[in-house]
Each structure stands twice: as C-alpha cells, then as structure tokens.
Amino acid sequence: MKAIIAGAGIAGLTAAYELGRMGWDVTVLERAKELRSGGYMIDFFGPGYDAAEENGLLDGLACRAHAIDGVELVNGDGSHQAYMSYAALRASLGGRLFSLMRGDIEQVLFEALPGSVALRFGSEVIAVEDRDTGVAVVLDDGTGAEADLLIGADGLHSGLRRQMFCGEAEALKFLGYHTAAYIFRSQAVAEAAKGNFTMLSLPGRQAGIFRMQGDQVAVYFLWRDARPERAADTRQAIAEQFGDLGWLIPEILAGAPENADIYYDVVAQIEAEHWHGKRTVLIGDAAYAVSLLAGQGASLAIGGAHLLARMLAEHDDIGAALVAFERVMRPEAEKKQAAGRRTAEWIVPSSRFRVWLRAIVFNFSSLPIVSRLIGGLVPPSPKGIFAGATKGQHT
C-alpha cells in the first residue's frame, strides 16, 4: 500500500512513522525547505501521551523533556504575582505529563521514521483527483504521483483542506488572539527565569520565558487582537503590543530574530464539516485544530495519527477506515475545542480583577480543593479512543 502525506509537522510525521511500521510505502511532502525547529514550550499529556506509549515513541519524547519547577506569574515590573508548582498539575494527571519544545517533538519523530518513508522538502500538492480506487496528485513542480491514500497534515492553513473540502473562510474560527514565539540568547533573561516558566500577566497580554540551556531562552507572546489577519511584519506587531513594558521586555524584544525565524499566527480553531473523502483524509490541525487556548494540539496530532493507523489496520477497506476514524475522533476533538473556548478568559484575562483572581487560584494551587479544581479543568485522557477503536464497534 502507498500513502502520500502532505505536511511534515507532528501529525504528518506521526502518520508516516505509524504507516511505515505497518509496511506501507510512504512519501511525505513538506512545503518548507527543511524540518522546523524551535516553536514554543508545550505540556504533553492526554491522547498523544497514550499513543506514544503504545507506539514506542514515549521514551524518545521523554528524553527531550525539560524540567519545570512551576509557573510564576509576574506583574509588569517583574514583581512576583503568583506561583503554581508543576507538581499539582502532574498529580492531577497521574504523573503522565512532561514539557518539551514543539520542535523537539518533530525531531524525535523524524529520527524514528522507518526506511520505507521518503521525505521531500520544498514540495507540495497543488491538485488532487480523489477516486474510488486511489488518489492522483499533481505537485508544484509539475510532476504527478499516485497512491492508495492521501493524508492532509498541512496545518491550520491547510491547502489540501481548501482544495478538497472547504475554504479557510468557512473552516477557520478566529478566537480573537495572536501569538508568537522564538528562541534567543540572553544571560540576564535566562537567570531571571531560573527553573520556572515565568509569565508576565497583564489584562489582555502575556509574555512567557523559559531557560533552556545556558543563556538560551524560549519566549512566547499571546495577546488579544480583534483583527483576524496576520500582520505583515511580525517583529513590529510584537513591539506594538509589548513595547511599552519594562522589566525584561526591552531585552527580549531586542533579541527577536528575523521575521522568518519567528513562529507567528492567529489563534484559531478549525471546524470542517468533513475530514475525509474517498481516499483522502485530514488529520491534526488541518482537520481539528483546537488552538493553544485548549492545549493538547500536539497531543491530538499524535493521537489522531495513531488512531488513523489503527483504523487502517483493522479495516480491509480504506474508505471504511476513514469513516471510522472520523466517527471516533471528531467528538473528542470537539470536546477539546469547547474546553478551549470556555477557558480562554482565564488563560488571557481581560480585566485586572480576573488577573487578580487567577493569581489567587495559582497561589492556593497546593491545597487539595484547588488541586482538584485544576484537575477538573484538564479533560481526562480519552484512552477509549484507542481501547474502543475496534473494527466491529465503529464500522
């Protein structure tokens, strides 16, 4: 069996790893010239953790994890506002959580790819013919290819989704925020972060820093913005939102790399009516982006790719496997999306009162009742996605 995968992000690389291990002949097409690095720090738990445990990737991911003592909230001048130990969050998830850079996940997946997987950079699909018996594609260099299955894993702004299912105007639901992240070097900023994820907490704005190695610092920004269009100049957009602040912000802004090396996008979710055709299917953010407000985007990318592979293994017919995949995965993704919309106000509080109230919760997070509240805000790991994904139950 042959598969073409559009996109070498977390979802695409996981699907390539899974299908390659099953004996498929896999070609991954990535529009970028090389594998992406950096990104932002994520908490890895939930369905992706369960999937990685099943498919043998968990140890490799855990080796890339960063030890975080806790999350410290600070005021605009850098003075202490609140603190939450990561132990409370880990305990609420039964210890099944670690933190790592998004780019490190992709590197682990890339290094684990079987020899049957071919990865082509600087290449993308520009036309698709979805048939009952297979799929034919045309690439941007004018060449063609055929396969038994085409997987669209090309992210939030998926070109394959636009070609096969619906336009971005229909599917992308802008949530009213923009975000950016990059890695830079600064001894002063690194020392200020210590072993915590330190987060500037102001109404409508956040800036977070984490010390990686030596003087290397990962920084991210999140801000409210009613404009659904991405700014043409990323560095300028960040400066406009955070340039009036003191503390370490001037040095952080001065350390910003060129626009091309900054991760930047709007914060949005994807609500597509269909994820699959005859021999085509969307996974990851291309199908069901939940946004960083919901968290677990990387986890759902890995979990979804793992589920798709399970369905393909359990069904003799590819079309039936795609139907089953969407039937099982869609309600889980929709739950995460709804949770993200509900908690948005507490992730980026809009008023000083809500900033203060969140600080109170952080400061009392070690108390059992507050710990249970924090655990209640984190959806349980839906192991039923995998445990219950059997041929008889979902066809």
Q: Which of 160-164, 191-195, 296-300 has the lowest mean pLDDT?
A: 191-195
pLDDT band at 346 (very low <50, low <70, confident <90, very high): confident
The arithmetic mean of pLDDT across residues 239-261, rounded, is 94
* Whether residue 159 is found in the same domain as residue 200: no
Over residues 54-98, the pLDDT tens digits come to 999 999 999 999 888 889 999 999 999 999 888 777 877 788 888
> Contact 245/98 with Cβ under 8 angstroms?
no
Is residue 261 in some structural domain?
yes
- For residue 332, being part of any structural domain is answered with yes
Q: How far apart are CA 191 and CA 209, in angstroms?
A: 11
Average pLDDT over residues 161-183: 94
Does 264 score more than 90 pLDDT? yes
Q: What is the per-residue pLDDT for 373? A: 55
- Evaluate whether residue 395 is within a structural domain: no
**Domain annotation covers residue 150:** yes
Q: Are residues 286 and 165 in the same domain?
A: yes
Q: How confident is the model at residue 293 (pLDDT cuts 50, 70, 90)?
A: confident
263, 288: one domain: no
pLDDT computed for residue 364 by the predictor? 81
Query: Mean of the pLDDT values across residues 381-388?
Result: 51
Is position 279 within any domain?
yes
Asked whether 356 and 82 are in contact (CB, 8 A), the reply is no
Number of structural domains found in the chain: 2
Q: Which of 252, 267, 282 is the last residue of a domain?
A: 267
Residues 69/88, Cβ–Cβ less than 8 Å: no
Residues 161 and 223 reside in one and the same domain: no
Q: Do residues 236 and 307 both lie within one domain?
A: no
CATH number of domain containing 34: 3.50.50.60
Please tell me the predicted confidence (pLDDT) of residue 394: 36
Is residue 255 located within the same domain as residue 162? no
In a domain, 124, yes or no: yes
If asked whether residues 161 and 125 sit together in one domain, one would say: yes
Whether residue 139 sits in one domain with residue 18: yes
| 98-107 confidence digits (pLDDT tens) | 888 888 999 9
d(CA 199, CA 196): 9
User: Are 191 and 295 in a shared domain?
Assistant: no
Q: Is 273 in the same domain as 147?
A: yes
318 and 359 inside one domain: yes
Does residue 26 fall inside a structural domain? yes
Mean pLDDT of the chain: 89
Closest Cα to residue 36, out of 222, 181, 219, 237? 181
Question: Of 267, 292, 310, which residue constitutes the final position of a domain?
Answer: 267
Residue in the block written with tokens 């066809």 = 395
Residue 201, domain CATH: 3.30.9.30
Looking up tokens 């915590």, which residue turns up?
196
231 neighbors 248 (Cβ within 8 angstroms): no
Tell me whether residue 127 is exposed, middle or buried, using C-beta atoms within 10 angstroms of its C-beta: 0 to 12, 13 to 18, 19 or more. exposed
Using CA atoms, how far residue 365 sits from 72, 93, 370, in Å, is: 12, 14, 5
Q: Which domain holds residue 212?
A: 174-267
Question: Which residues neighbour 219 within 8 Å (Cβ) at sequence distance 6 or greater?
Answer: 181, 182, 183, 184, 189, 207, 208, 209, 210, 252
Residue 31 and residue 161 in one domain:
yes
Cβ atoms 256, 235 nearer than 8 A: yes
Boundary-marking domain end, from 208, 243, 267 = 267
CB atoms closer than 10 angstroms to residue 380 = 12
Q: In what order do the strands lie in the sheet with 149-152?
A: 117-121, 25-30, 2-6, 149-152, 280-282
Element (H, E) at 4: strand 2-6
Answer yes or no: is 394 within a domain: no
